[in-house]
Amino acid sequence: MAVFDIIAVRGATTLDSDCREEVERRTVELVKELFARNKIDGAAKKCVSIIISATQDIKSFYPARAVRESGLTDAPLFSCAEPDIIGALPLCVRIMLTIACAESGERSRHVYLRGAAGLRPDLAE
């Protein structure tokens, strides 16, 4: 039986508007970038689960559904709402991937796109 290290990778993006097409486009873009930067391929690195949250001003479409409909069917998804906090970044989708890595010591490559880059400038590339 293979031994895997488990790491968590975070990411976030913002939408220009709350419409289905924008939720789909930006959420799928974020997931693809998380997979690419972290070299998730299903062999040496496998996505174990995905947690997706959205701010409460996103009402047109489920970001988790966008991920599932993009073809990512192997990992379980969990969707939740961000708290409605005054001054919080609007129209924001956040994602956390749990990844199993065959090699120990793997480094997490977090992804913050668009307006979400200001959430963690220390981690944004």
> b/e for 10-30, b at 16 or more Cβ within 10 A?
bbbbbbeebeeebbbebbbbb
Residue 94 is inside which H or E element, if any?
strand 92-101
Q: Would you say residue 67 lies in a domain? A: yes
Count of structural domains, the chain: 1
Domain that holds residue 92: 5-104
CATH for 31? 3.30.1330.40
pTM of the model: 0.89
Residue range 20-65, pLDDT digits in tens: 999 999 999 999 999 999 888 766 678 899 999 999 999 999 999 9
What share of the chain in percent tops pLDDT 90? 65
Question: Are the CB atoms for 4 and 100 separated by under 8 Å?
Answer: yes
Q: Would you say residue 20 lies in a domain? A: yes
